[in-house]
Amino acid sequence: IPSGLDVVAEINRLRKEKNAVILAHYYQTGDIQDIADYVGDSLGLSQQAASTTADLIVFAGVHFMGETAKILNPSKKVVIPDLKAGCSLAESAEPNAFRAFREAHPDHVVITYINCSAEIKAMSDIICTSANAEKIVNSVPLDKPIIFAPDKNLGRYLIKKTGRDMLLWEGACIVHEAFAIDKLLELHKQHPTAKIIAHPESEDHLLKVAHYIGSTTGMINFVKNDSSQEYIVATEAGILHQMLKEAPQKSFIPAPSHEDNTCACSECAFMRLNTMQKLYLCLRYESPEIHVDEAIQRKALLPIQRMLEISK
């Protein structure tokens, strides 16, 4: 990138010229969220990807999100700023092991969290996100046993919420599993009027002390409409940018992580691989592009469409 180049102006010029749409997740840095055409949670982003009329989808998120956009809208070109932006949850479900698990329980309905690869989606009956997971579980007839994958924490939370006994895959998000409950309770003692709000990818002991549990969009709506002034936020810290925009008079404290945590203070190292510079480069060169095998795309589309239908 030439020094002195106005990256923001260039992104704005190129997106018009190429009829591109920039979609960003709430875990992206503030500058990326601000330049995006749409910022949202995984459900909102999938809905946008499915309905966009743009020719080029620039997805500022992680790999499985770009892949989902491509599955939903295969005739569009989908690019992401950094192909290495993976996800610990998606990586926890290796396709051969997942196939064997599925085949060992052929009578089970397979509900899979959207944080997984296209191959895993192609082996699933219905996809869910944190925003609609409860609704999706409740949509399965009571006499049908369920496999829930890959997030065991969200799975456990859903078992409690719905009373359904589900077989869980042993996956987890490194960011949400790194929150330190002892430090969080200590912090709450110092801020006794603060409400603890948490994403359901967090561990059970943390969810037990949370005043509100929900998807990233759910958490933002909660702080906007709630009467408290202060919140301890147990999810990726990128979300604070949007919370401060929606409720500038309130204060938000990121939940503390264990000291030996590899990702600094509740930041997702995968999401943070994306930068404004890389966003500009991927828009300009239309690369790196997301490709999904055609047979897998067709199979993976069905369970995502079922989810979108139920979430209308």
188 marked as binding residue: no
Q: Omega before 150 cis (within 30°)? A: yes
Beta bridge mates, 254? 233
Side-chain-facing half-sphere of 187: CA atoms under 13 Å: 21
Tell whether 263 is in a known binding site: no
Decide if residue 215 touches ligand 13P (CB under 6 A): yes
Count of C-beta atoms within a 10 Å radius of residue 86:
16
Residue with tokens 């992104």: 11
Sign of CA dihedral 221, 268, 307, 283: positive
Binding test (CB under 6 A) with ligand SF4, winner from 80, 175, 210, 243:
175
Candidates 79, 80, 237, 271: give the one binding ligand SF4 (CB under 6 A).
271
**198 scored as a contact of ligand SF4 (CB under 6 A):** no
From the list ligand SF4, ligand 13P, none, which binds 216 (C-beta under 5 to 8 Å, kind-based)?
A: ligand 13P
| Residue 113 assigned to a binding site | yes
CA-CA-CA-CA torsion sign (160, 265, 81, 90): negative
The answer to the question of residue 297 lying near ligand 13P (CB under 6 A) is: no
Contacts of 196 (CB under 8 A, 6+ apart): 184, 188, 209, 210, 211, 212, 231, 232, 234, 255
User: Does 203 engage in binding with ligand 13P (CB under 6 A)?
Assistant: no
Q: Is 205 labelled a binding residue?
A: no
Asked if 41 is part of the footprint of ligand 13P (rule: CB under 6 A), the reply reads yes
Residues that bind ligand SF4 (CB under 6 A): 27, 62, 87-89, 115, 173-175, 236, 268, 270-271
Kindly list the residues in this chain that would bind ligand 13P in the complex (CB under 6 A). 26, 41-43, 115, 129-131, 173, 199, 201, 215-216
